[in-house]
Amino acid sequence: MIVIIIQSAATSFRDRLPEDGKLNFTQLANKYGHECVEHDVVTEDGYILKLFNIVGNKSRPIFLQHGFMDSSDTFIIRGNTSLAIALAEEGYDVWAGNTRGNEYARGHLTLNPETDKKAFFNYSQHEMAVYDLPAMIDYVLHETRQTQLKAIGHSQGTMIFYILAAEKPEYNDKIKLFISLAPICYLHHTKPLTSTAIKLWPLVEPFFKELGIVEAFSRNSTAVALFEFICTTKDIGYPLCITIMFSFAGFDRKELERKFVPVISGHFPNTASTKNGDHLVQIALKKRFSKYDYGEEGNVLLYGTSEPPNYDLKNVRMPVALISARNDKLSALKDVAILRDALPNVVYDHVMERRKYNHIDYVWGKNAPQQLYPMVFKLLNTTSYHRISKLF
């Protein structure tokens, strides 16, 4: 009964969302003055991913990759001040990708996400990296007739690029520059609430398996309905909603104003597989950037060793620019430092000047055009990527 009440109430409040909370990626691009073309990309293992292209100069392709529980919408929901629109205004041919399972990537050649849940959602960030990214990158290069592209990732969107370059080193040559916003790789030093959730996950995860729960936060789920209900409730909704988000991202109220929060709730959170969450927790608890742990027997069958092997970051030859923040509870500066020392080709390493800058300010921050974009465009406009820190 409570679930029905929540879903019913959330539906009525959803109708009252700001327009940008209801529009999809293409509609938002059109609203803000840009042609957008939708492409369906099929991965080697049969997943069908929606790839959005804000049409620009085909000689300047740039690929955007969202993070955990997110979608391509994250780069455009700020409208005229969003990163996708800012790049389009500069003439870039903007391509925004989606990883398997989210609302734009729930197709498959043989599996149905509703009736074949266990098989469909049997993936973590590993499969996103070795199947989704190659399919989308190759598609963009084919469509633009280029041999290289530049890319920007946020949060888990950075991690899957590191995995791709480690596992399929040939893709290093296809990435001219990778800009990592809120880099996620090592998770040794996540802040209190996140670290507590990580420690509790091994106790909860067996119950999920027992109940057959393999999908979390689909856009039609009760959890998402509750989040939308909270974030669209007048007066008390705003402080409750930002408290939920900031507890994990880092508090920065100035960058997430009251009128924008309902827009976010129309797009976030998005579907994630529980295996994806499990893999992130394994990396955090083991303090190793390693492949998925299937248990000793499963590891021996799959990897030939009792423990899952580490991803070899020495293979990540593509030029990487790391951009991090002091107030980021998920991408801690100490963990970014470990990553920086492990990567062989970090061309730029920058900590955001504003001390309150947090994990979500990169994509949703009100003042990102002033605080972040000038640095991004300087990086993109650089022609030779060696060590370029002296430019800033």
Residue 265: the pLDDT is 96
Q: Catalytic one among 72, 124, 155, 324?
A: 155
253-284 pLDDT, tens per residue?
Answer: 999 999 999 999 999 999 999 999 999 999 99
pTM summary value: 0.94
163-207 pLDDT, tens per residue?
Answer: 999 999 999 999 999 999 999 999 999 876 667 777 777 777 777
203-253 pLDDT, tens per residue?
Answer: 777 777 777 899 998 888 898 999 999 999 988 899 999 999 999 999 999
> Tokens at residue 339, please?
């990553």
Q: Are 230 and 289 in contact (CB under 8 A)?
A: no
All domains of the chain in start order, with CATH:
2-383 (3.40.50.1820)
Q: Catalytic one among 126, 189, 279, 359?
A: 359
83-137 pLDDT, tens per residue?
Answer: 999 999 999 999 999 999 999 999 999 999 999 999 999 999 999 999 999 999 9
- Dihedral through CA 118, CA 279, CA 324, CA 199, nearest 10? 120
How do the residues of the chain divide into helix, strand and coil, expressed in percent and rounded to 5? 45, 15, 35
- Dihedral through CA 70, CA 76, CA 79, CA 83, nearest 10? 120
Q: How many CA atoms lie within 13 A of 172 on its CB side?
A: 19
Q: Could you tell me which residues are beta bridge partners of residue 324?
A: 351
329: pLDDT strictly greater than 60:
yes
| Span 152-156, average pLDDT | 98
Strands 57-65, 320-324: parallel, antiparallel or unpaired by DSSP? unpaired
> Tokens at residue 27, please?
């509609």
Residue 206: the pLDDT is 78
Residue 387: the pLDDT is 62
392: pLDDT strictly greater than 70:
no
pLDDT, mean over the chain: 93
Residue 204: the pLDDT is 73
| Span 7-20, average pLDDT | 69
> Tokens at residue 97, please?
């990708």
| Span 355-372, average pLDDT | 98
Q: Check if 359 is active-site.
A: yes
Residue 259: the pLDDT is 95
11: pLDDT strictly greater than 60:
no
User: Which of 152-161, 183-192, 199-208, 377-386 is least confident?
Assistant: 199-208
Could you identify the residue written with the tokens 């996540």? 190
Residue 208: the pLDDT is 74
391: pLDDT strictly greater than 70:
no
72-81 pLDDT, tens per residue?
Answer: 999 999 999 9
| Span 37-55, average pLDDT | 98
327 residue type, one letter? N
Q: Are 158 and 135 in contact (CB under 8 A)?
A: no
Q: Are 57 and 251 in contact (CB under 8 A)?
A: no
Distance (Å, rounded) from C-alpha 363 to C-alpha 225?
Answer: 23
- Counting DSSP H helices and E strands in the chain, the numbers are 18, 11
